[in-house]
Amino acid sequence: MLHHFLVLSVLCAMSMTMPLPDFYSYSPAAGDGSGTEFSTAHEGRITGVRVYEYPNYGYYSNNYLNGIQLQYNSNWTELVGVNAYGNEKEMTLFNNEHFVQISGKYYSGYISELMFVTNEGRSFKVGQPYGISFNFYPTHDGSELRFISGRQNGFALSSIGAHWAVYYNSTS
């Protein structure tokens, strides 16, 4: 009996000191970061992205991304930034498709380009390839984009970061 108690005690002590697996990671924000903070955190799985681009007709240094929205299941988040100046571009994901990478560029205080890549190899690019590059991806296998955060100043996105985690469907 004492032997069983000792074995059980050792197992309990080991389980208390062993770290739980961490399935969350954060890609720190890229960009200058002026303005108001934002977060698109929402329940459900991301099923689409919509971006508004301010075009300056051929001048790379003046193209900025004005606004962004993520779609969770069939619901769009509140618009981050503005859409008054921009061309709207949108990507809808297929069933069981999710974002596994975001890359882009920022220049002169604003995000100038974003490219979203999915686990199916599809990509969605908006903006112009001008400025300082960044590349976001999860650090854990099976993780996907859960939400983005950053700053916007009422004219355009000034910084963006990505939050990654394994998605667990609570209904299955």
Name the strands in the sheet holding 110-118, side by side, starting at the edge strand that comes first in the sequence: 123-127, 110-118, 99-107, 132-136
Question: Cα–Cα–Cα angle for 101, 90, 57, nearest 5°?
Answer: 100
Q: Are 98 and 118 in contact (CB under 8 A)?
A: yes
Residue of 69 and 22 predicted with greater confidence: 69
Q: What percentage of the chain carries pLDDT values higher than 90?
A: 70
Residue of 75 and 55 predicted with greater confidence: 75
Domain boundaries 24-165, CATH class: mainly beta
Instruction: Break the chain into its structural domains and give their ranges.
Output: 24-165
Q: Scan for tokens 């689409």, then name that residue.
A: 48
Lowest mean pLDDT among 19-28, 40-49, 71-80, 137-146: 19-28
